[in-house]
Amino acid sequence: MGNQSVYAFQDAYAPDHPRIGEAMISLTPEMQDSISNARASGNPCIVATAARDGTPDMGYIGTMMALSDSTLAYKNRENNATLVSPEENPKVIVIYRNAATGVGWKFRCTAVEYEEGPYFDAVNSRLSPTGGDTAHTGTVVVLEIDQVLTLFGEVLQERTSGRRW
């Protein structure tokens, strides 16, 4: 996707979606810490996507992190064709669950993929000290959180009240 702005992406793929940052999603410190340390704790996040024709796909993502209190991000390694590209369908679901503690959430998100720029640099700089990616290859996928739910589907927070998925 390169330098295409988040707003241009939203205008093309989610015109009814409010502008990023306009509504309230605020991950708790527990959510942010759990997600950012998911790989180290042995509880990687599961990301689910779907192609335009509805074909589903999902995979474990060990590089998932809370980028802010309303965004998640992960590294999409070069030549990684595990998940549907956000350019094809930007709707993504992320699931975090720690079986030992019983803590977990589901996040409904809108994704944007970056090959360069501030988001790309921020995610790579956070991964490099952990040995997660020192080569800075591939892309970075930023997930603007639209809803935070319990693992049983109860809505805890949402950007737009009553929005249907």
**Topology annotation, domain 6-156:** Pnp Oxidase; Chain A (2.30.110)
- Residue 140: how many other CB atoms lie within 10 Å: 26
Q: Where are the domains of the chain?
A: 6-156
pTM of the full predicted structure?
A: 0.79
Task: Give me the helices (H) in 77-157, please.
Answer: 118-127
pLDDT by residue for the chain (165 residues), tens only, comes to 443 445 555 555 555 544 554 558 999 999 999 999 998 899 999 999 998 898 999 999 888 999 999 999 998 876 555 577 888 889 999 999 999 999 999 999 999 988 888 888 888 888 765 555 556 677 889 999 999 999 999 999 999 887 776
Burial class (CB in 10 A: 0-12, 13-18, 19+), 32: middle
The CA-based dihedral angle spanning residues 45, 46, 50, 55, taken in that order and rounded to the nearest 10 degrees? 160
